[in-house]
Chain A
């Protein structure tokens, strides 16, 4: 198995533009997490899904952020419009079951909003 796959690895965009980050889960995993890493706040949980259903989105910073799971193996995180303070590394992670704390992380997307 290739593990959790994220794309793109790097994204540079201008303020106001829409950004879409993509994530492919490990086959058979049914929980999906989106995290954001910044110097100031470390790893923050943005949202998590279980069986394609959003369970907790309290970490999503603003309405500019939205996440979807159109099917059991794929998720997107969209920022519209993007702002410079959104610059960070965004990770998605998956696990085999909802209560499994041993998450498998993707390599992340480095987002820079100019």
Chain B
């Protein structure tokens, strides 16, 4: 039973446009959400996070939105750049401080 799901395995976007990556979760006890970015042959690296008491967090070109009623979060990248091409994982933290990851979405930004 996957508690964190990323239903789009891949996404292709033109350089300069907006990339929107989506993530759904089922456990209402999750209190903190994160996005990690992974390049080939490297481990995931932390990108941005949001607490469950907020609905938006912004860091430069990256914004994470949280809709608790829908149990949905999204990552917006504006403008998208070719260097953003990577696999993006969303993750959620439970009361036991454990992270549960989604399956990942491969983003391809075309020049």
Contacts and interface: CB of A to CB of B under 8 A. Distances in A.
A108 B46 CA distance: 16
A98 B43 contact: no
B104 A105 contact: no
Interface residues of B, number: 23
Interface residues of A, number: 21
A105 B43 contact: yes
B12 interface: no
A75 B69 CA distance: 40
A35 B103 CA distance: 13
Interface string B2-13: 100010000000
Interface of B: 2, 6, 32, 34, 41-46, 49, 89, 91, 93, 96-104
Interface of A: 4, 35, 41-45, 48, 56, 91, 93, 98-99, 101-108
